[in-house]
């Protein structure tokens, strides 16, 4: 994945490095060039001075060294074409010269030091003489090289510091982008609220506008779907209730005695249909995309759990199930009807799967100051490899009793996610299932 920060640093580092190198080279040549020109001028003066003091005696070239003064900063050598030393220092070499060159500048290594040297070919009556003059001060050019290295190192230190400061500036400048990323990442997949455009920087405002358009289109589609489910479930209620009432009247008629078993089957089917429609309506109401502005108020979980358990006492007595309640006063901010649906579905599932003579316990507590609802039963429990699947819509465990719709735990999961709660499915202490919902 490409990083904007790294790309910016990379494209800044290359030109800055080239600029630092060019600056150091310019400084080096600016410091070396004048000294080289000055050295060349002095070498020519010294060479001319030596030439002016050459003498020819007995057919041989010699030098009147006694008249040479003020030349302590130079070393020289006068040689014949065969390389024999005629005057001066033997350590001064004579570089090879072709027949067309009269003067040649070069660098000589003397005593492990580099000196700038001028070699001049001069014709005398006694033949050709080669005068080589080395500037002992030219060896100070090494200081310019050291200065160049120091300048280059200092420039790169400054470059590193500059890049670090630029990196910090980029990170600070990208904070709005990270805030936008975190805001979107923290949302539920169904949270399609528009992003506030006024808080976005000008550079990424078009991205926010496009995202808001996408959110609006998705929100319209989801709301249309939820509205369809709610309308369908609502429209089914009236005819289902009417059919259930008619069947109850029919079952009480003496004429219906021969088909009483079939009437009872119809009554059971109608009750399951009514239950499924109610669950579909609850599921539509529990969807986070349909509850972005849900009505919230303080809900006493302990009192609500007691009221809901009271509604199921008759059913528990008929099934010979011990239904117990262990609650304390714990309050959360939520929609009371949705919390009612959450607890009702948990209790309905627990009673449905608990055999006669078993027990179901509803508890409300606040460990670590976090509201916790737990429903524990002594039924067959939920196998560990099935616990993630029972939260899916319309999924029922194999060999499950009754004719449920498989929406109970899916509704509980939707409501828990709406409030950022954690739904956990585990095993009860004495066997069975223990389902907990812990609110943040």
**Does residue 93 surpass a pLDDT of 50?**
yes
pLDDT digits (tens, 9 = 90+) for 226-260: 677 667 766 776 777 777 778 777 777 887 778 87
Both 10 and 128 in one domain: the answer is yes
Cβ–Cβ < 8 Å for 233, 280:
yes
- Report the pLDDT value the prediction gives residue 363, as an integer from 0 to 100: 92
pLDDT digits (tens, 9 = 90+) for 158-169: 888 888 888 888
For residue 386 the two structure tokens come to 């099935």
- Report the pLDDT value the prediction gives residue 71, as an integer from 0 to 100: 55
Reported confidence tier of residue 20, pLDDT bands at 50, 70, 90: confident
Both 251 and 306 in one domain: the answer is no
User: Counting beta carbons within 10 angstroms of the beta carbon of residue 282, is it exposed (0 to 12), middle (13 to 18) or buried (19 or more)?
Assistant: buried
Both 303 and 418 in one domain: the answer is yes
- Specify if 38 maps to a domain: yes
The residues, any chain, with a CB within 8 Å of residue 353's CB and separated by 6 or more, are: 377, 379, 380, 400, 401, 433
| C-alpha torsion sign, points 84, 86, 91, 93 | negative
Mean pLDDT, the chain, integer = 80
Both 280 and 298 in one domain: the answer is no
Both 300 and 333 in one domain: the answer is yes
The rounded distance, in Å, linking the Cα atoms of 416 and 283 is 12
Reported confidence tier of residue 180, pLDDT bands at 50, 70, 90: confident
Q: What is the mean pLDDT of residues 31-55?
A: 78
- Helix/strand/coil for 221: helix
- Specify if 24 maps to a domain: yes
**Does residue 293 surpass a pLDDT of 50?**
no
- Report the pLDDT value the prediction gives residue 360, as an integer from 0 to 100: 92
- Report the pLDDT value the prediction gives residue 376, as an integer from 0 to 100: 92
Both 20 and 77 in one domain: the answer is yes
Both 315 and 434 in one domain: the answer is yes
Both 279 and 301 in one domain: the answer is no
**Does residue 369 surpass a pLDDT of 50?**
yes
Q: What is the mean pLDDT of residues 389-394?
A: 80
Both 320 and 410 in one domain: the answer is yes
Which domain CATH number covers 371?
A: 3.30.565.10
**Does residue 436 surpass a pLDDT of 90?**
yes
Q: Could you say which of 96, 116, 144 is where a domain stops? A: 144
- Specify if 16 maps to a domain: yes
Q: Which of 11-25, 283-297, 347-361 has the least mean pLDDT? A: 283-297
The rounded distance, in Å, linking the Cα atoms of 151 and 326 is 79
- Specify if 128 maps to a domain: yes
Cβ–Cβ < 8 Å for 137, 39:
yes
Q: What is the mean pLDDT of residues 326-336?
A: 86
Q: What percent of the chain has pLDDT over 90?
A: 8
- Report the pLDDT value the prediction gives residue 163, as an integer from 0 to 100: 84
Q: Name the phi and psi angles at 195, rounded to 5.
A: -80, 140
Both 390 and 274 in one domain: the answer is no
What are residue 298's DSSP bridge partners? 333
The rounded distance, in Å, linking the Cα atoms of 392 and 33 is 83
pLDDT digits (tens, 9 = 90+) for 195-212: 887 777 777 888 888 888
The rounded distance, in Å, linking the Cα atoms of 78 and 429 is 112
Of residues 226 and 274, which shows the higher confidence score? 274
Q: Could you say which of 115, 144, 173 is where a domain stops? A: 144
Q: What percent of the chain has pLDDT over 70?
A: 84
Strands 127-135 and 74-79: antiparallel
The rounded distance, in Å, linking the Cα atoms of 45 and 120 is 12
**CA angle, corner 415, sides to 305 and 385, nearest 5?**
95
**Does residue 12 surpass a pLDDT of 70?**
yes
The rounded distance, in Å, linking the Cα atoms of 234 and 371 is 32
Both 266 and 355 in one domain: the answer is no
Domain count along the chain: 3
Both 299 and 260 in one domain: the answer is no
Q: Which of 20-34, 60-74, 342-356 has the least mean pLDDT? A: 60-74
**CA angle, corner 344, sides to 338 and 350, nearest 5?**
140
Domain that holds residue 86: 4-144
The rounded distance, in Å, linking the Cα atoms of 398 and 379 is 15
Q: Which of 12-26, 73-87, 226-240 has the least mean pLDDT? A: 226-240
In angstroms, the first-to-last Cα distance of the chain is 34
Which domain CATH number covers 92?
A: 3.30.450
């Amino acid at each position: 994945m490409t990083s904007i920060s790294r790309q910016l640093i990379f494209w800044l580092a290359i030109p800055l490095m080239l600029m630092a190198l060019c600056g150091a080279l310019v400084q080096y040549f600016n410091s070396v060039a004048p000294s080289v020109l000055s050295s060349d001028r002095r070498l020519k003066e010294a060479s001319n001075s030596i030439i002016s003091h050459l003498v020819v005696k007995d057919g041989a070239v010699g030098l009147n060294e006694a008249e040479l003064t003020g030349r302590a900063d130079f070393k020289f050598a006068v040689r014949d074409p065969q390389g024999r030393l005629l005057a001066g220092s033997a350590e001064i070499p004579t570089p090879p010269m072709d027949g067309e060159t009269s003067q040649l500048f070069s660098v000589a290594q003397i005593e492990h030091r580099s000196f700038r040297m001028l070699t001049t070919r001069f014709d005398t009556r006694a033949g050709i003489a080669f005068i080589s003059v080395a500037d002992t001060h030219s060896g100070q050019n090494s200081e310019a090289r050291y200065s160049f290295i120091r300048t280059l190192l200092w420039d790169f230190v400054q470059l590193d510091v500059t890049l670090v400061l630029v990196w910090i500036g980029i990170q600070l400048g990208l904070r709005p982008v990270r805030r936008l990323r975190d805001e979107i990442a923290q949302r539920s997949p169904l949270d399609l609220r528009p992003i506030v455009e006024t808080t976005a920087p000008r550079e990424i405002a078009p991205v926010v506008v496009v995202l808001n358009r996408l959110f609006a289109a998705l929100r319209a589609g989801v709301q249309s779907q939820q509205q369809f489910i709610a309308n369908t479930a609502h429209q089914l209620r009236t005819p289902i209730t009417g059919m259930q009432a008619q069947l109850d009247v029919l079952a009480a008629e003496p004429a219906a005695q021969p088909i009483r078993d079939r009437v009872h089957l119809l009554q059971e089917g109608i009750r399951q249909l009514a239950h499924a429609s109610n669950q579909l309506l609850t599921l539509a109401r529990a969807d986070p995309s349909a509850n972005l502005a849900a009505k919230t108020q303080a809900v006493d979980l302990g009192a609500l759990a007691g009221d809901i358990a009271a509604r199921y006492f008759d059913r528990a007595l008929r099934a010979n199930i011990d239904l117990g309640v262990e609650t304390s006063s714990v309050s959360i901010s939520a929609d009371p009807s949705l919390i009612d649906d959450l607890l009702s579905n948990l209790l309905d599932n627990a009673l449905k799967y608990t055999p006669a003579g078993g027990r179901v316990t509803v508890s409300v507590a606040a460990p670590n100051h976090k509201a916790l609802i737990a429903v524990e039963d002594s039924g067959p429990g939920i196998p560990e490899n099935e616990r993630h699947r029972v939260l899916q819509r319309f999924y029922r465990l194999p060999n499950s009793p009754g004719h449920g719709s498989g929406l109970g735990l899916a509704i509980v999961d939707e409501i828990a996610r709406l409030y950022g709660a954690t739904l956990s499915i585990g095993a009860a202490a004495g066997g069975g299932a223990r389902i907990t919902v812990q609110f943040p």
